[in-house]
Structure 1
Amino acid sequence: MREIIFDTETTGFDPQNGDRMVEIGCIEMIDRIETGQTFHCYYNPERSMPNAAENVHGLSDMFLSDKKLFATGAEELLDFLGDANLVAHNAQFDFKFLNAELLLCGYKPISQFRMIDTLAIAKSKHPGAKLSLDALCSRYGIDRSHRVKHGALLDAELLTQLYIELTGGRQIGLGLAENTKRHESIASMQPTLQQVERKQFMAPREHHADADELVRHKIFIEGIENPLWTEV
């Protein structure tokens, strides 16, 4: 199963108010294993960056001034996403901006049926707890010491580890499989009641040593040096 874990950075909170996406970072997973394939791009938002947003992610007007427009790289991004499910933390936010950008340049929005929200998963597992990416990384022991500011690809990397932990960890199902195999193995070695009933036991065979055997036994015993049974 192919999944894309992704994160975005924006100029604000609402594309309906003119806010734009300025960065996206994506990580490919197949069957819960990172493949090493990533997609990362900055975009010129064609508007100024509010100070509050810049303080979060550090992306300034000057830095973004020479970056490509989203419309220029939309096809490349869609090719990478393919038809995979898309995993994000507070995914409604990221989907809202991604689809707003796609609509602006004439592409169809991505169906929310493909959306997997790690925030919703975390809420069901840890009701009442702090559920920010930072808080959840701390809960699950995920190293985020290198996260000074938000960054789409960095946050996607952290989210990949968190998603794995939220959905059972690296060894999901392994314990159950091992126990099942162990029980099957033990069961296969134990005879069933029917097998015991079918087994025919032979009557014990009577045996008496003849004269020649008795002589050879006596010679063997006498040949043993310092036998234990003679000690007092």
Structure 2
Amino acid sequence: MAREIVLDTETTGFDPKTGDRLIEVGCIELQDLLPTGRTFHRFVNPERLIPPDAIRVHGITDEKVKDAPKFHQIADDLIDFIGDAPMIAHNAAFDRNFIDYEYRLCGRAITGEARWIDTLKLAQSRFPGMPNSLDALCKRFKVSLVERTLHGALIDARLLAEVYLELRGGKERVLDLSSGPVGRRSAGEVAQVAVYGARPRPLAPRSTEAEQAAHIAFLAEVLKDRSLWEAYGIKAQEEAA
């Protein structure tokens, strides 16, 4: 595994080609499926009014972003944070369209579809025919939504990081070939589990001599001959003597 960036945006609408603009971007850095603690978050002045329908979704008003930097002022910081890492987004085409549109406007190279991982497509492949919105996946994977009263880029990126981990099977026990203990991965930590010593070979018998004798007597009565199991029981008694 390697470094990945979970990314989410909030916008003034659905399509940059009709004049909509990006107003918030949030990123979470992952290393080997685990958050590193590094984040990137900026509000952006969209240089246009935010429609009431969009405000009802994310709660970001014109007043809140009027003094925020314009996208070209944060573009290099965002590019530096992402680096060459793959970008993970839910319905990635939406976020990619806005990011690449803003990059074009300020003369930066676009990201291109190949660099994006779409968790919506991952979820649709794993849960065909089921609701696969971010909210639905959080509920399915028991990811807490307590802090999400409205959409927000950084909050949604944090939730998506946990969902992505679940979609990749990250909470299953992983094989650790090092000498340390085996870890169970979660969204923000590696929980330690018990480490056991080598088992003795062969394992010591758990039955008593009386139980072994009763077993031999039972076989003799039922099978009326020296069965394989009877011979094995007699051999075990001889070895224990």
| CA deviation profile, 1:171-220 (whole Å, cap 9, x unmatched) | 36439998xxxxxx88xx68xxxxxxxxxxxxxxxxxxxxxxxxxxxxxx
Structure 1 position 23 matched with structure 2 position 20: no
- Per chain length, whose mean CA-contact separation is higher, i.e. which structure has more relative contact order (CA < 8 Å, sep 6+)? 1
Structure 1 position 2 matched with structure 2 position 17: no
Give unpaired runs (5+ residues) of structure 1. Answer: 179-184, 191-232
Q: Structure 1 residues 149 and 173 mapped into 2: Cα distance closer, same or farther (>3 Å)?
A: same
| CA deviation profile, 1:124-160 (whole Å, cap 9, x unmatched) | 0001111111111000100002100000000000000
Give unpaired runs (5+ residues) of structure 2. Answer: 183-197, 203-241
Structure 1 position 144 matched with structure 2 position 154: no
Query: In the alignment, what sits opposite 2:166?
Result: 165
Aligned-partner residue type, residue 96 of structure 2: F
Correspondence list, 1:47-196, <5 A? 47-171=48-172, 173-174=174-175
CA distance in structure 2 between the aligned counterparts of 1:97 and 1:158, rounded to whole angstroms: 21
Q: CA-atom RMSD, angstroms?
A: 2.1
Query: In the alignment, what sits opposite 2:205?
Result: none
Structure number having the greater helix percentage: 1
Deviation at 1:170, TM superposition (A): 2.7
Q: Structure 1 residues 172 and 125 mapped into 2: Cα distance closer, same or farther (>3 Å)?
A: farther
CA distance in structure 1 between the aligned counterparts of 2:155 and 2:163, rounded to whole angstroms: 13
Deviation at 1:29, TM superposition (A): 0.5
Deviation at 1:17, TM superposition (A): 0.3
CA distance in structure 2 between the aligned counterparts of 1:34 and 1:109, rounded to whole angstroms: 25
CA distance in structure 2 between the aligned counterparts of 1:71 and 1:143, rounded to whole angstroms: 34
Secondary structure of 1:174's aligned partner: coil
CA distance in structure 1 between the aligned counterparts of 2:30 and 2:154, rounded to whole angstroms: 14
Deviation at 1:111, TM superposition (A): 2.1
TM-score between both structures, scaled by the size of structure 2? 0.72
May I ask how many residue pairs the two structures share in their alignment?
184
CA distance in structure 1 between the aligned counterparts of 2:168 and 2:33, rounded to whole angstroms: 10
TM-score between both structures, scaled by the size of structure 1? 0.75
Query: In the alignment, what sits opposite 1:207?
Result: none
Q: Structure 1 residues 168 and 176 mapped into 2: Cα distance closer, same or farther (>3 Å)?
A: farther
CA distance in structure 2 between the aligned counterparts of 1:114 and 1:170, rounded to whole angstroms: 25
Whether the 8 Å CA contact 2:33–2:170 is kept in 1: the answer is no
